[in-house]
Amino acid sequence: MNWKRLSRAIEISAFLLPFAAFWVLFRLVPVLYGFFISLYKWDLLGDARFIGLRNYVNLGRDPRFWNALGVTLEFAAIAIPLIVGIGLLLALFIFGGRRRRWAAAAEAGFFFPYLLTVSVVGLIWRWMLDPDFGIVLLVLRGWGLPAPVFLNEPRWAIPAIAFATAWWLSGYRMVLFRAALEDIPEEFYEAARIDGASGARMFFSITLPLLKPAVLFALVLTTISGFIVFGQVLIMTAGGPGRVSEVLALYLYRFGFEYLEMGQAAAVGVVLFLIILGLTLVTFRWLGYGSSL
């Protein structure tokens, strides 16, 4: 290697080093440490005892774990398409009216919930869905519609949390999609129009394929959000009614910090990590690596 190339490599490394150091310290090390802890019986306050894979075996035997896994999958199946879908619809809506005066205000309004913390989001929706004084139920009752106690009904608890999550997170996806829409050359649409293409045809043949990088990014981001959902569940239902909304992250939290079974909690973390990694790789594969940003 000549001196110039070596110098260039050092320069690049120097720029990367600060980020890499923090990434290793605060991301990689905790992940590896989490896997390490999952091999021990450790209660945070005393000595740890190596027990091999027993924490994973215990997980496999615990019906509560399987319930939490099922609930997490249910939440992800509802929330991920909802968040990405609403984000895309909002982006198309804003993009369609981009030369109108209201567009900027509407975009700011749609984005606003994303600025809130999860605890605020959880509290807002818990109050809005309150069976005694919540505005949502009052309105539904006022219109003579059935008004289930959303957060206390097994059938509604997860969809209600998913909807609140979509309200919170869709704004950011909207911004992503809107930026990607701006990048699509107008000439493509002009050519399509000359060829007599319909709006739907243009959407499916031009817009959607060219949005692939943004869709991939949004999907990966939302998959992660969907599987590590925690705060809004803790605040809105605390996993109830019964265990209908006890997601994996809540299960992890309870075993780790309420029952002090840190090893078992870490094992759940590893399982979650593997699920998210697997789904991310599948998403890349499905949309094609070429669509990576």
With contacts defined by CB under 8 A, how many residues of the chain interact with another protein?
27
Which residue type sits at 54?
R
Which range touches another protein (CB under 8 A), out of 1-9, 19-27, 90-98, 147-155? 147-155
By CB under 8 A, is residue 124 in contact with another protein? no
Contact with another protein (CB under 8 A): which of 152, 205, 225, 280?
Answer: 152
Tokens of 29: 């090390």
By CB under 8 A, is residue 52 in contact with another protein? no
By CB under 8 A, is residue 60 in contact with another protein? no
Contact with another protein (CB under 8 A): which of 45, 145, 200, 293?
Answer: 45
Contact with another protein (CB under 8 A): which of 184, 260, 276, 287?
Answer: 260
Whichever of 82 and 248 has its CB closer to another protein, that residue is 248
- Residue 262, judged by CB atoms within 10 A of its CB (0-12, 13-18, 19+), counts as buried
By CB under 8 A, is residue 44 in contact with another protein? yes
How many other CB atoms sit within 10 Å of the CB of residue 285? 9
Which range touches another protein (CB under 8 A), out of 68-76, 158-166, 173-181, 258-266? 258-266
Rounded CA-CA distance 267/196 in Å is 57
By CB under 8 A, is residue 98 in contact with another protein? no
Strand partners, 40: 50
Contact with another protein (CB under 8 A): which of 47, 52, 258, 285?
Answer: 258
Rounded CA-CA distance 208/215 in Å is 9
By CB under 8 A, is residue 48 in contact with another protein? no
Whichever of 128 and 175 has its CB closer to another protein, that residue is 128
Whichever of 22 and 259 has its CB closer to another protein, that residue is 259
Contact with another protein (CB under 8 A): which of 142, 242, 278, 288?
Answer: 242
Which range touches another protein (CB under 8 A), out of 12-20, 40-48, 68-76, 215-223? 40-48
By CB under 8 A, is residue 74 in contact with another protein? no
Q: Tell which positions 203-232 bind another protein, by CB under 8 A.
A: none
Residue ranges binding another protein (CB under 8 A): 44-46, 58, 62, 64, 130-133, 149, 151-154, 238-243, 253-254, 257-260
